[in-house]
């Protein structure tokens, strides 16, 4: 009471804490009283609906695209909520494939990266079913997507390449060829990753060479 009175006398406004991500469907996720070091109650996520979990992930990713213009709001963002939600969503299998595919085109690179890793995990679990070919094509587009504003965006490309590696097949092979033969990716770590994946796909020992990328490119030239 005294603190509120002093704040009022001094013209101060009590700041509101906004937890990110949060959900109206999960009122027990965050502490509702004052807490110096608020911690989310992750244990309630295992029983949460798929819609609630995907909403948490979307809100987390979207928060990086929004600027907080309200000086009276303190944002508390916690990545473990999204990480835990993604782990549980993997267990939902085919139920989340369409949602993850849509996030491959999300404006935030962290969303694209997480969606690609989730799809790779689902592919490894045999959960893509008849969508596998279409998912591979969409991952190929992300793997070769040029960065636009921040080189960190390429983390999503790497995740897409990893997911493609799990799926394998002609689309994966063609994508590695495109990355290795395109001047756009010269001297980029993506070519190193592509050489490693191509080595695994073809059984060639590119990574044992002193210049794996050069050897992989030479092999591609000899094997059009």
Span 47-77, pLDDT tens digits: 999 999 999 999 999 999 887 656 676 778 8
- Residue 145 shares a structural domain with residue 213: yes
Domain housing 27: 1-91
Q: How many domains does the chain have?
A: 2
pLDDT digits (tens, 9 = 90+) for 93-152: 999 999 999 999 999 999 999 999 999 999 999 999 999 999 999 999 999 999 888 889
Q: How large a percentage of the chain has pLDDT more than 70? A: 89
- Residue 202 shares a structural domain with residue 142: yes
Q: Which of 69, 91, 113 is the last residue of a domain?
A: 91
Q: How many CB atoms lie within 10 A of CB 111?
A: 24
Closest CA to 48 of 87, 105, 97, 103: 87
Report CA dihedral (125, 131, 133, 135) to the nearest 10 degrees.
-80
Q: 74 vs 170, which has greater pLDDT? A: 170
Closest CA to 186 of 216, 152, 223: 216
CA distance 97 to 92: 9
pLDDT digits (tens, 9 = 90+) for 1-51: 434 433 443 445 566 777 889 988 998 998 876 566 778 999 999 999 999
- Residue 150 shares a structural domain with residue 187: yes
> How big is the CA angle at 197 (ends 195 and 201), to the nearest 5 degrees?
115
């Amino acid at each position: 009471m005294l603190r509120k009175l002093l704040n009022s006398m001094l013209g101060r406004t009590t700041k509101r804490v906004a937890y990110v991500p949060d959900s109206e469907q999960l009122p027990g996720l965050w502490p509702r009283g004052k807490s110096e070091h608020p911690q989310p109650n992750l244990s309630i996520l295992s029983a949460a609906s798929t819609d609630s979990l995907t909403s948490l992930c979307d809100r987390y990713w979207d928060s990086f695209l929004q600027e907080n213009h309200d000086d009276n709001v303190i944002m508390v963002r916690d990545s473990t909520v999204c990480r835990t939600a993604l782990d549980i969503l993997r267990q939902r299998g085919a139920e989340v494939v369409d949602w993850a595919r849509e996030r491959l085109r999300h404006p935030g690179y962290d969303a694209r990266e997480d969606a690609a890793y989730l799809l790779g995990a689902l592919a490894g679990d045999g959960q893509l079913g008849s969508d596998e070919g279409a998912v591979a094509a969409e991952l190929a587009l992300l793997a070769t997507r040029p960065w636009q504003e921040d080189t960190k965006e390429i983390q999503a490309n790497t995740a897409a390449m990893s997911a493609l590696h799990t799926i394998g097949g002609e689309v994966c092979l063609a994508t590695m060829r495109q990355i290795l033969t395109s001047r756009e990716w010269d001297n980029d770590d993506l070519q190193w990753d592509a050489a490693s994946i191509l080595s695994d796909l073809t059984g060639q020992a590119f990574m044992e060479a002193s210049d794996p990328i050069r050897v992989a490119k030479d092999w591609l030239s000899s094997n059009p």
